[in-house]
Structure 1
Amino acid sequence: MTDGITLDSRGAESVRSTADEVVAAVATVIDGKDDVIRSAFAVMLAGGHLLIEDVPGVGKTMLAKALARATGGTISRIQFTPDLLPSDVTGASVFDQSSARFEFKPGAVFANVVIGDEINRASPKTQAALLECMEEGQVTVDGSTWPLPDPFLVVATQNPVDMEGTYVLPEAQRDRFMARISMGYPDEQAERAMLRSHGRLDPIDRLQPVLSTGALASLAAQARDVYVSPAVETYVLRIVGATRGHAEVRLGASPRASLQLLRAAKATALIDGRDFVLPDDIDALAVDVLAHRLVLRRTGVDAREGQVVAATRIVRQVVSSTPVPLQ
């Protein structure tokens, strides 16, 4: 396992080797999904949060668990249900009779990686309890504030097919997620490997940490220092701005989207062994970072599934029609 002091003295190429080790470790649990693993790790390095939207049984929760184990962090899982209370997420003040005073009992959100399974099945009030946690990295209860662990990553999952008994995530909540990704079904070879490896033993039990949380914090700091040219900054602004003026879009990507797209691009560049961002990084991340933030002019439950596809198409149109800057 690599410590933070060693990582600080390494160059970008060595960081790529470390990132490859993390991806390889998680890939022993999630077969055939290296691109998805790399995207999730980039979001973690960028200090963002991840929304995984896919059908049941494709490894959404397993990905989050494996990522936490590989990076040496603590993990907490919250099963979101209609009767889940905000205090179950954040914690609550409980009266201690022995000391005759109220003491704060931390909730499930106090972990390095928090898995919010089926987040759209909780009430809006409980969903909102995550807002301060995700944005500020802290919890405020009864006027007192407690910091959350660093690093801190929320990996929320939701099923895009079964909508009965769910509460659609509001725009403000979706905007807190740096990226939305889908796992997709594995190919036959990867699924065969899963049958052979998972049939004997849970591979999570064999997964050893590749990084410490200190090393991860060092990597995150290096990601923030990755160089972005003025031309690439302009490219980001033009892509995000184009979503706001698109004829099919009622509400385009926010300024937070611009910032998070750039942060994700910096982390991706570092993972790829570079200390500078390329326009290709922006192109590769645009759909994951922007599409879930768009509010289209269509309405209705049936249209909602179509909106995911439509939003993806719109972002791709915007990217393809925006001139690529010459470095």
Structure 2
Amino acid sequence: MFKPLITSLAVILGSLAMVGSALADYPERNIQGTIQWGAGGATDNVARSLTPHVEEILDTTIVLTNRPGGTGVIGMNHVMQQRPDGYNLLIGAENPQLYPLMGLADFTYDDMHTVNIIGQGLVVIAAPADSPFDSFADLLEHAQQNPNELRMGGTGAGGLPSTVHAMINAVDELDVRTVTFGGDGPGITAMLGGHIDFMPLSLAAAGEQIRGGKMKGLAVLTTEEIELLPGVPPITEALPDIEAFLPWGPFWGVFVHQDTPDDIKAILEDAYEQAVAEEEFVEFLHNFGAEPLNLRGEEAQQYLDSWQSVTAWSMFEADAETLKATPEELGIPRP
């Protein structure tokens, strides 16, 4: 009678020992990293610059794969459907915090575990180098005189360009056609080919092209000129009332399945916290017009909640009719 019980206990204890050993050895194989935007964009640049530091800390290889589409929904959904074992990471941007608002998906980053909020970027409204516009004020005036003529690059509903467009329309009117791409990178390629007239972009993606003379900056989404783009006016020169929405910018983070064991979550959080603090990576962020945040735990959650509140209510006040739900209906408090 007791022999089966003893055998069962032995099996259970053996299984627990194996689990403990697996956690102690994590990671014992390559980690898959899904980038929810296309190659060459800001999220891709940040991910590929940070990952070597994490690989060295964890003594493993992180295989990065771009899965763009659906304003990042495809990449995030892929990771959420993988086993919660810590071997599938999402390297994403800010967009999921707006999915329910835009009717794109019924999940946000609240449905994953935040490993690290890496940093926040600045935004520049960029145009081809040979653009007839030298400032955003010039472009805005032309657009108002010629509605629906200019082509603006976009990345889908809830993406950075559409959010900036909503902020502009909250205080003025910018009537343009939107051409949608799978991320900053394809949009920049289209701009260099003369297929679009302008595009709001993260400075992390567009800075080198502007400083290299291949594109020009029409405005930065700030209240003052910035050191990295001398001569590019702050957007408040053309739209003083937009100051109410500033400061604002995109952010990047690393996330893992919500049900990942706590021990593995802690290992990942420690590794990414150390990697983001590396001097070489901090210098990379500064050179690309971004600042490190390096947030984990409660601080990361507070940041996500604050960003969602400011952005969702800005979009609601700008153009409530295009939203599939209101911030109030989703329980998003006013900032």
TM-score range, shorter chain: under 0.3
The structure in which a higher percent of residues are strand is: 2
State TM-score, norm by structure 1: 0.28
Mark the structure with the bigger radius of gyration: 2
State TM-score, norm by structure 2: 0.27
